[in-house]
Amino acid sequence: MKTKRMQKQMSTPVNKKWKGYTLDELRTERMLNQVRIAACRQRLAQSSQQAVRPQRIASTVMDTVLRILSVYDYVTIGIAVGRRLMRLFRKKG
């Protein structure tokens, strides 16, 4: 946002008396821009953290499933996959 004085000076069509911005006005604008940049960076950081969260949910679900399976389940799955792989290799060989 520009200061009221800046807006007033810019709204006049041709002001021959106007000689530019003062140092205080320039410093104020610089500080406001820095605050805007910091706010944008913070929003960007928050949005990137939210984008990472679904991966954490998926890994949590996977951890839960792996904890539920017992050793017997792993052996059963391993045997089933092993048999299918053996069939593939027997047909090709």
What pLDDT is attached to residue 77?
87
Q: Nearest 5°: phi and psi at 69?
A: -65, 135
User: Would you say residue 12 lies in a domain?
Assistant: no
The model's pLDDT over 56-80, given as tens digits with 9 standing for 90+, comes to 666 777 777 777 878 888 888 889 9
User: Would you say residue 4 lies in a domain?
Assistant: no
| Domain region containing 80 | 21-92
Question: By the 8 A CB rule, do 17 and 44 touch?
Answer: no
What pLDDT is attached to residue 8?
65
Claim: this prediction has a pTM higher than 0.75: no
Q: How many domains in the chain?
A: 1
